Amino acid sequence: MRSQKNRDGGRAVPPTFWGRRGFARKRIGRILNNIRELSRTEPRMSLVISDETLHAAHLTAAELKQELAILLFAQDRLTLVQAAALAGMRPLPFQHLLAGRGIGPHYDVPEFEQDLKTLSSHGPA
């Protein structure tokens, strides 16, 4: 297999590598353009909270966002993914944060019954 030198003169890589990289760049570019378009069309609201208020509450701006996300999730107003996004976190670490506060995942009877059906359709383990 013929290989070419890395663009910065490093080790040789298979020629297909650059083709894949070009494809990935184009794909990432399209995804970023879609995200930019969505962020332009998605309604946003700005909320100004004085530094004095944050200081009095002994919170940083990031901590306040987390507290708001936890509250809205606990009240079943946001899903786990939505609340995690508001908190600026990924869902799994946000779930750990919730667990540390004694807040369990929202799991109701219909979801439980659906899981039981799924498990019973697969037979005994």
Nearest to 79 by CA among 122, 108, 117: 108
Kindly report whether the global pTM for this prediction surpasses the value 0.75.
no
Q: What is the pLDDT of residue 98?
A: 94
Rounded-to-integer distance, Cα 25 and Cα 19, Å: 10
* Same-domain pairing of 105 and 73: yes
Question: Which is more confident, 98 or 42?
Answer: 98
What number is the average pLDDT over the span 91-100?
93
pLDDT for residue 10 is more than 80: no
Rounded-to-integer distance, Cα 97 and Cα 70, Å: 9
Rounded-to-integer distance, Cα 75 and Cα 82, Å: 13
Range of the domain at 86: 51-109
* Same-domain pairing of 59 and 103: yes
Q: Structural domain tally of the chain?
A: 2
* Same-domain pairing of 98 and 67: yes
Q: Give the pLDDT confidence of 41-63 residue by residue, as tens digits.
A: 657 788 898 999 989 999 999 99
Rounded-to-integer distance, Cα 123 and Cα 117, Å: 10
